[in-house]
Amino acid sequence: MAIDAGLVRDLREKTGAGVLDCQKALTQAGGDVNKAIDFLRQKGLATAQKKAGRTTNDGLVASYIHAGSKLGVLLEVNCETDFVAKTDDFQDLGRDLAMHIAAASPQFIKREDVPAAVLDKEKEIIMAQARESGKPPVVLDKIVAGRLEKYYAEVCLLEQPFVKDPGVVIKDLLGQKIAKLGENISIRRFARFRLGEE
């Protein structure tokens, strides 16, 4: 099947993937752009998993100051080489992540960072709410598990929907950038400051 160059260009603009990857994705998807986007996202996640073990000792510190200068974020994003750290794509990622942190106010980077005491307290609250709602005891554990997933999506940066594209969670956004830039990328730390906040 011959793929129209306009479709390839459109897919490249939407995903940032290379020409050959876009052609392959469109061929696999029978010319359907939405299916091709899904194919590229899955490929990006697979590529990200392969690179996950590689060390990230370079990168940048990105910042975002919200209009009015009452809210700001500092963020360290790491990659493998200074070559990638200097690319526009990587720098844009740093800015986007800093802006996302300002808007979404995550407390932790990943679910493993949530302290056991905080998690236990949250489970306790969820269990008490579930019991008060009159649900049968056999479903309480499932209710707690489901609500914990929602809790992680609220407080963990990697699990939050990206503010610029709520259809993509931050860990998938990182996966797309890893696939595009060809290096492992990690978020090391961040600090969010609001004027007058303790």
Mean of the pLDDT values across residues 60-68?
A: 93
The full length of the chain comes to 198
Mean of the pLDDT values across residues 98-109?
A: 96
Together in a domain, 100 and 121: no
Together in a domain, 29 and 126: no
Domains in the chain, number = 3
Together in a domain, 25 and 84: no
DSSP 8-state symbol, 190: E
DSSP 8-state symbol, 31: T
Question: What pLDDT shows up at residue 52?
Answer: 56
State what percent of residues in the chain have pLDDT above 90.
46
Together in a domain, 36 and 126: no
pLDDT level of residue 102 (50, 70, 90 thresholds): very high
Together in a domain, 43 and 72: no
103: pLDDT strictly greater than 90: yes
Together in a domain, 88 and 14: no
**Residue of higher predicted confidence among 4 and 172:** 172
Together in a domain, 17 and 101: no
124, 139, 154 - which closes a domain: 154
90: pLDDT strictly greater than 90: yes
Which CATH number do you get for residue 133? Answer: 1.10.286
- Domain housing 137: 115-154
Together in a domain, 120 and 95: no
What are the tens digits of pLDDT across the range 165-190?
999 999 989 988 888 888 889 999 99
Which CATH number do you get for residue 171? Answer: 3.30.479.20
What pTM did the predictor assign?
A: 0.70
DSSP 8-state symbol, 70: S
Question: What pLDDT shows up at residue 191?
Answer: 95
Together in a domain, 35 and 63: no
Q: What's CA 33's distance to the chain center, in Å?
A: 22
State what percent of residues in the chain have pLDDT above 70.
86
Together in a domain, 129 and 44: no
Question: What pLDDT shows up at residue 194?
Answer: 92
Together in a domain, 16 and 101: no
100: pLDDT strictly greater than 70: yes
Q: Which of 156, 180, 150, 131 is nearest to 14 (CA)?
A: 180
Token readout for 140 is 């309480």
Together in a domain, 23 and 47: yes
pLDDT level of residue 39 (50, 70, 90 thresholds): confident
148: pLDDT strictly greater than 80: yes
Cα dihedral 162, 45, 188, 147, rounded to 10, equals 60
